[in-house]
Structure formats: structure tokens, C-alpha cells
Structure 1
Amino acid sequence: MPFDAFPRVLLSEPGGSSAQVLLYGAQVVSWKNERGEELLFKTNNPLAKSTGGIYVSLSQLGTTGQVLPLTQNLWSLDSTPLDPSSSGSQSSVDLIFQPIRKDFKTFPSSFELRLHVSLGPGRLTLIPSVKNTDNNSLSFIFGLRNYLSVSDISEVRVEGLETLDYMDCLLQRERFTEQDDAITFDGEVFFCV
């Protein structure tokens, strides 16, 4: 199925900003500001591991100890919203993923994963929630992978990470402690978890 044919939810707000969320993987594939400028990086490279945007990364630790990713699974519209207080000019959607019996080979525990996506003037908010619906313990790794579009990387600064440990994927995941008060960039960077 071509990427453009995937079912999606379109969000818009009166100020003119918009977002598109795929029902496959709950991936946010577009977020445009009030001037119609795309704020998310997207690639047309068919060999890329990700198409960009913002996507949910949830992995359960399986019985073999391997990490089992939650990727292109079909999500449903959730009739029990995470944030019932969101109102006003805010546009939002609540999605839910629940593994079905045939998925239990991939996901050894039963769970529900909910995602609240809301669009407001100048902001896009994603609020995830994981609920264990099994009698067994549930171990998982969760992340929102963000691919932001940047017009001039030399103007970007990330602050507040000093003294945190990280692994450098380009140096065989060697562990380092951040020393600088701000991280700056002069080219493409690959972060891994």
C-alpha cells in the first residue's frame, strides 16, 4: 500500500496550523504552522529505516530477552480520551492499540497503549499512556521518535543535558557524560537509545 493511501486523522485549528496522524503506528506524518510551513522532517528515501515525522516506539521485553518493537500496527480511535478537559479551539484525537490474540507471539503480555494527540496555536502535544491488562508483570521501553525540520542547524542549541550519561552510536555505543551547558550542531547527527 502506498504511504499516501494509509488511513489518517487530519487535525486543524482556527489559527491555520494542521497535523496528520496515521492510524498505522499512530505516526504523526505532518505538522504545519499557521503559514503552512512543514515543521517535521520527512524523507523520500525508500531505503531509510524511518520516513520521519513523529512515531511511537514501544518495545516489550520478550521471554527470550529480545526487544520486540511495536511498529506498523493498526490503531483504533479511542472512545475513552486521556484528556477529557481539552476543549476550546484545540483539535485532538485519542488513539488506542491493544494486541489481539494472534499478536501474543510478538507481545508476551497483554496491554493497552493510548496516545492523545492535540493541536493548538503554536504547539503539538502527544500524551502516551500504557496500561497492563495482564496478570503478569509488564516490562517495556517507550519513546516518541521526533524528526524535526530545521532550516539552519547551526542556530540550534539543546540545553539542560549537562552531567547526563549518553551512548555514542558512532563509537560502538561507548558511554560518555555530557560536560557542556549547551549542545550545538554543525551537521547531521544520529542519536540512538
Structure 2
Amino acid sequence: MNDLPDSLKDSLSTVLGQPALTITANDGSRATVLLHGGHLVSWIPAGAGEQLYLSPRAVAGPGQAVRGGVPVIFPQFEQLGPDTSLPRHGLARTRPWQVDSHHARRDHTQLTLVLIDDADTRALWPHGFRLELTISVGGPRLDLELYAENTGETPWDFAAALHTYLAVSDLTQVRLEGLQGCRYQDRVLGGMTLEDHPEKRFHGEMDRIYHRAPDLLLRDGPRRLSLRSQGFEDAVVWNPGPEKCAALKDMPPDGWQQMLCVEPARIQSPVTLQPGESWAGLHTLALVGAD
């Protein structure tokens, strides 16, 4: 790691056996990201506790995806395409990323990681690309920007998501507001349905893709977490429930009770980039106080 900027050399550690960087704002808010997968594994706002769920059984290594935090999903979601020949959830979350830039400002600190195509990625997906993840922390807020650029000579389509595992105190006590009126694809029961509940409650397995999702609010006891996105048209809400959780080697059997995935995504309408074109999606999480 001799190529790290001097401003980051004291921020280097090892998490899950992988090189990790922790960025800290002037107010003490901080975030930790693995270079493996460009994978955010921790976000602690100023004056608050951990907001992300990382499985105590999570593993990381070549070709292995980390269970928890914020995996970067690109260029396909699950095995839904647009290129179904790719590994599940694409190729970004299991590859080594590099540091592109680091800036410490008065009210926030920002880190950008980059993934660029190489011979290994082109063997899976024959396209030239540049993928950037910019992480910004300060006060009660976390900003995640995903940027994709077509650096090749042919157009390509992609789907993307920031597969955010939120830590919760007790899943059955969580409420998610803002989805009423959205159409969603139910990947447990099948079919398309219109959401008619002003607040979602959770009791076990759920796997839904909500289309044209607006800003959301997670209520967890006194905690209020605002979730806002730009460029991501969909929202995925996922929890494995007790039976599927027990079958996951990298999750404790009761882990489903301490997490809920609410992730910004671009699935229903994949993006097409011509050579030289780019796209960016922004996701902002912020603690907004209590009732």
C-alpha cells in the first residue's frame, strides 16, 4: 500500500483480513471501506452508533462477497441482467479497487475509490469501463455516489445498486415509510403489486423491487434515518427471514432480526452508455432525530 496518499497512510487497517481505510470528519463521524470490492463496512455518524450491519460471520477474499455493509452491485443485479452470463450481482463487489482521491474539508471528509477494466474483467464482460465510488461523511450524513463511464469503443447496458445492510435493533419493531403507491415486484410470492401501506412492517422474509421509489424514512425506536436517492429509480427491500438466514454460512441464525436491506438500485430500466458517456447515482443517508 505504498501508493496511498500521505493523508491516508495513518487510516490504513485490516478488516476481515483485507486492507481497509477509515475516513474521519472533523466532528468525529467516520466510515470504513475495504479496498476489496470497494465495500463500505462501517458508518458511524457524529454522536451516534453504528448504522450498518456487518455479519459477525462475514468473510472476504478473492472472489468472495462480504455479507453486510454496502456491496457495490454492477453491471447486473442478482441474475436479472442485463447480462445474465455474469456472476450473480456482477463483478465489482469481489474485485480489488484503488484509491483515486481523498479530501478533508471543514464539514466533511471524502474518499473516492476506482475500479477500471482489465484482462480479468474483460474475460467476463468484454467492455471498457471506469467505476468510481465516492464516500463522504460529516455530521449525521453519509453520501455515496456511484459513477460509471464507458471508456470502450462499443455501447453497453448495465444495472446497478448499493446493497445497503442497515443495522436495526429488532426487525419486528422497524417501520419504513414512503413506499405507499409504488408498484413492486415480489420475488418471494411472485407477480407485480401496488403497495398500499403507508408504513411497512417486517416479520420475516421479504424480497421486493419497488419501482420509482421516492425518499424513504426508516423508524427504529427513537432512531429516524432518512434515505434519499438521485439517479437510482428503484428501491430493493430485502430480509432473508429465519429459514433462509439459517442456511447462509456467513450469517448467524438470528442475524435476520438485526438487519434490513434498503438499497437504491437501477434495475427496471437499465442504463445504456455510448462510448465516452457516463452516469452517476447518489444515495444519501442521514439521521434526522427522533419524534
More strand by share: 2
Deviation at 1:101, TM superposition (A): 2.0
Number of matched pairs: 183
Q: Give the aligned residue type for 1:17.
A: S
Aligned equivalents of 1:41, 1:134: Cα separation in 2: 36
Q: Does 1:88 align with 2:100?
A: no
Kept after mapping to 2: 8 A contact 1:16/1:36: no
Q: Does 1:24 align with 2:46?
A: no
Aligned equivalents of 1:36, 1:180: Cα separation in 2: 30
What does the per-residue CA deviation read over 1:104-152, in whole Å, with 9 as the maximum and x for residues that have no partner?
Answer: 1112211111111011101111011100111211111100001111114
Aligned equivalents of 1:106, 1:123: Cα separation in 2: 36
Q: CA RMSD in A?
A: 2.5
- TM norm structure 1: 0.82
Match of 2:186 in 1: 168
Kept after mapping to 1: 8 A contact 2:46/2:138: no
Give percent identity, aligned residues only. Answer: 27
Deviation at 1:179, TM superposition (A): 1.5
Q: 1:36 to 1:162 in 2, by over 3 A?
A: closer
Of 100, 119, 143, the residue aligned with 1:78 is 100
Q: Give the aligned residue type for 1:149.
A: A
- TM norm structure 2: 0.56
3-state SS of the aligned residue for 1:7?
strand
Of 46, 50, 72, the residue aligned with 1:56 is 72
Kept after mapping to 2: 8 A contact 1:99/1:107: no
Match of 1:182 in 2: 199
Question: Which runs of 5 or more structure 1 residues have no equivalent in the other structure?
Answer: none
Q: 1:132 to 1:7 in 2, by over 3 A?
A: same
Q: Does 1:44 align with 2:56?
A: yes
Q: Give the aligned residue type for 1:73.
A: R
Q: Give the aligned residue type for 2:52.
A: L
Aligned equivalents of 1:190, 1:97: Cα separation in 2: 31
Aligned equivalents of 1:176, 1:11: Cα separation in 2: 41
